[in-house]
Amino acid sequence: MNNISLDIENIRKDFPILTQEVYGKPLIYLDNAATTQKPRCVIQKMEEIYSTINANIHRGVHRLSQLSTESHEEARKTVQNYIHAAKPSEIIFTRGATESINLVASSFCRSQCKAGDEIILTAMEHHANIVPWQIQRDIYGIEIKVVPISESGEIDLKDIEERISSKTKFISVTHVSNVLGTVNPIGEIIRLAHSYNIPVLIDAAQSIQHIPLNTKELDCDFLVFSSHKMYGPNGLGVLYGKESWLDKLPPYQGGGEMIARVSFDKTTFNELPFKFEAGTPDYVGSAALAEAIRYIEKIGLENIRQYETVLFNYAKEKLSQIENIRFIGSPTLGSCSVISFLVGNIHPYDMGMLLDKLGIAVRTGHHCAQPLMDALGIEGTLRASFAFYNTKSEINALISGIERVTRIF
């Protein structure tokens, strides 16, 4: 695949942080799975809202409040269109993917589960898709069944089906592993789950910025992601839920905005999506996220996917030439923008620290996936993760950096 349509040098100019030097070396930012950098238009959008229309939304009759409300609700529509949801009211703004999963786990288990019921997760989940379910398990006496992964870092549909029983109430699975880069066959998982009438949540924290997603075609019941991993601002996330499910689930938090009428005897709740948005929402963040989405769409997510695939394959090929490298997970069915590895006996932390001195930002450790580390029998990995603003020359710098560190050891 030869991508000629992306003008990366010009694209990089949109990201002020990328021109920085770290320890006198050009910054090479390969920690995009943790968070992505922000284009100038997103940063400017936040400044614009604060300097022109800042006012609390929904509750005001005055002009600024109306404009601010319009901006927030337009942002909801932008998100809706980005993931092809049927209605804007199926988009709930949260603080992040983590809060979105907590919301579903809490509201779903509280209203739909009883002791002995079962939830299915996979061994490659981020803590954000494990711990919220464990909290509910401990309240309601639910059981968690874990789908194992193969040596290449993949799950097998057969292993999911084997774990489904009459007690299975929910399946929650990541689309892309933040450690292995595995792209899970979510369409097939959803079809399988629905054939047993089991709802599915897709954790799209690591795919929303790389792979076009169509909630209508996928027919997923819930889908979650964070704004900061898709070039948008921090502290904002999205929960997509099918209207039929969101209608059924009780509110997650109480407060202003999510109510229809409050008295000390009884409170009735607002309609969707407000039922799940207690308190003042991040209307500055939502406008900036919409800007990030417009930015992604201007480049084209398909173009991004193609370019990142070329970059990923290049990185994999170059890295594989390093002596004593061991890739952690080598999925055959599909990988996405994340490569985890170890080099000889060098501790990932030491490698990460020395690469940092060369201006190269990679991540080291368990990547919030300790059960996965346990399953793999390792403590942690080095992880390089890519965005469309990365280049082959940055990957070359990573390779020479690793070779330099290896020589020191």
- Least distance to ligand PLP, CB of residue 104, Å: 13
DSSP H helix total and E strand total for the chain: 14, 17
Cβ neighbours of residue 265 closer than 8 Å, sequence gap 6 or more: none
41 as an active site residue: the answer is no
Q: How far is the CB of 205 from ligand PLP (least distance, A)?
A: 4
Smaller CB separation from ligand PLP, 135 or 322 = 135
Rounded Cα–Cα distance for residues 107 and 351 (Å) = 42
> 129 or 340, CB closer to ligand PLP?
129
Q: Please state, in angstroms and as integers, the Cα–Cα distance from residue 56 to each residue in 10, 99, 117, 239, following that order.
A: 37, 22, 42, 22
* Residues near 50 by beta carbon (within 8 Å), at least 6 away in sequence: 284
CB of 360: closest distance to ligand PLP in angstroms?
20
User: Of 82 and 397, which CB lies nearer to ligand PLP in the complex structure?
Assistant: 82
Nearer to ligand PLP, 82 or 225 (CB): 225
**C-alpha radius of gyration, the chain, whole number:** 22
Residues that bind ligand PLP (CB under 6 A): 96-98, 126, 128-129, 174, 178, 203, 205-206, 226, 237, 368
The whole-angstrom separation of Cα 225 and Cα 12 is 24
- Give the separation between CA 2 and CA 20, rounded to whole angstroms: 29
Catalytic residue among 41, 109, 113, 368: 368
CB of 35 to ligand PLP, least distance (A): 8
Identity of the amino acid at 246: L
Q: How far is CA 81 from CA 97, 102, 275, 290, 353, in A?
A: 19, 24, 21, 10, 41
Which neighbouring-strand residues pair with 384? Answer: 339
With beta carbons less than 8 A apart as the criterion, state whether 408 and 350 touch.
no
- Host H or E run for residue 104: helix 97-112
Nearer Cβ to ligand PLP, position 218 or 397?
A: 218
Q: How near is the Cβ of 36 to ligand PLP at its closest, in Å?
A: 11
Please, what is the minimum distance in Å from the beta carbon of residue 173 to ligand PLP? 10
- Where in the sequence numbering do the catalytic residues fall? 368
